[in-house]
Amino acid sequence: MQAFTYTGLPTRVIFGIGTLDKLTAEVERLGVSRALVLSTPRQREMVEDAARRLGALAAGIFSEAAMHTPVDVTERAMREVERCGADGIVAIGGGSTTGLGKAIALRTNLPQLVVPTTYAGSEMTPILGETEHGRKTTLRNPKVLPETVIYDVSLTLELPVKLSAVSGMNAIAHAVEALYAQDRNPVVDLMADEGLAALARALPGIVAKPDDLDARSDALYGAWLCGICLGSVGMALHHKLCHTLGGMFDLPHAETHAVILPHAMRYNTNAAPAAAAKVARALGAGDAARGLQDLARRVGAPVSLREIGMTAEGIEPAVAQAMSNPYWNPEPLVETRIRELLERAFHGSDA
């Protein structure tokens, strides 16, 4: 067995159905008495319910969280932190809201409690991506790791099928890249295997029956495991490309992951055959890249960059930015091959 280093991340996790009932007790457990509750505009009603649950523990609501964590939104949120004297953050929603909570924590070191309503997985990571002037940059800092996460399966029942599909594909991407990460280890491999398999069986079930509690539970469980993978090891080409495209063109985050993942897997298959074999096995497929694309099609996720708003003129600047500060990757990054990857992803060609 190869030598490895594994560092467990110290987040408290409460998982189940109806676990939002524990919100007040968990906020008190963190020693928070004036929580700023965060959401996107779309989830304002949900966050107002959470504030009612918290009563006097809720100092205010900020419902302007946005994709890719724009710095200008964070600056507005920081003014609200100061105005209401917040001593903690409660973030309810998907990756956009979690990202905003992390951005605030980075600047203030306030404790965070996250209630995920999608399968993004960001809540389990010490990673923050922020966007400014069309460029998305990421950092890894223990200050942004949430102290507590409450997973309530019942909150995902209203997640639309299409959003469930792309959010689930986003989570799967974390596990796929963890399997060929430079600093991978046997513990993360086990979590990636299990998380990938749980999502692969759950997503078609959700498409068939959106209120299936078993399928929703499997999906949220898988997303939790895949999030741990994302937070425990370094990511590679897939995440670099998604961050590049999201920051440059404001493409929807989860949809971008769904499109790029099969092509990134194909790019790395020869350099990471063991990882590819594990992905294929978890999907019940003969080929990892094709299996990922088939799953995306089966659950109705997009398979081309064109259908999620990118234009062909964006390919060249995306190639240049992706090559300018590359992540480690098992297969060396070659400009002509990255261009070919993006062209195939743009057109939705077979992986």
Q: Which domain range does residue 16 map to?
A: 12-156
Is 208 a member of any domain? yes
**Taking Cα atoms as reference points, which of 153, 30, 159, 130 lies closest to residue 72?**
130
Report yes or no on 141 lying in a domain: yes
Give just the sign of the alpha carbon dihedral 254, 258, 263, 264.
positive
pTM of the model: 0.93
Looking at the structure, tell me whether residues 52 and 123 fall in a common domain. yes
- Domain end among 116, 133, 156: 156
Any domain includes 4: no
Task: Give the Cα separation of 282 and 276 in Å (integer).
Answer: 10
| Cβ 242 vs Cβ 236: under 8 Å | no
Dihedral (CA of 268, 274, 280, 283) sign: negative
Co-location of 205 and 84 in the same domain:
no
- pLDDT tens track of the chain, all 351 residues? 678 888 888 999 999 999 999 999 999 999 999 999 999 999 999 999 999 999 999 999 999 999 999 999 999 999 999 999 999 999 999 999 999 999 999 999 999 999 999 999 999 999 999 999 888 888 999 999 999 999 999 999 989 999 999 999 999 999 999 999 999 999 999 999 999 999 999 999 999 999 999 999 999 999 999 999 999 999 999 999 999 999 899 999 999 999 999 999 999 999 999 999 999 999 999 999 999 999 999 999 999 999 999 999 999 999 999 999 878 999 999 999 999 999 999 999 999
CA distance 256 to 268: 18
pLDDT for position 6: 83
* pLDDT recorded at residue 1: 66
Residue 5 counted as domain residue: no
Helices 288-298, 253-268: axis angle to 10 degrees equals 160
User: Residue 7 falls within a domain, yes or no?
Assistant: no
Task: Return the H-helix or E-strand segment holding 149.
Answer: strand 148-152
Question: Do both 95 and 44 map to the same domain?
Answer: yes
Same domain as 129, residue 106:
yes
Same-domain pairing of 170 and 319: yes
The domain total for the chain is: 2
> What CATH number did the domain enclosing 102 receive?
3.40.50.1970
CATH at residue 223 = 1.20.1090.10
Same domain for 165 and 92: no
Same domain, residue pair 144 and 167? no
Last residue of a domain, one of 119, 140, 156: 156
45 and 171 in a single domain? The answer is: no
In this structure, the answer to whether residues 251 and 282 fall within a common structural domain is yes
**Residue 2 domain flag:** no
- Last-in-domain residue among 156, 188, 211: 156
Q: Are residues 23 and 144 in the same domain?
A: yes
Rounded to a whole number of angstroms, the distance between the first and last alpha carbons of the chain is 32
The residue written with tokens 């599909």 in the block is 165
**Residues 211, 338 within the same domain:** yes
Phi, psi at 234, each rounded to 5°:
-75, 150
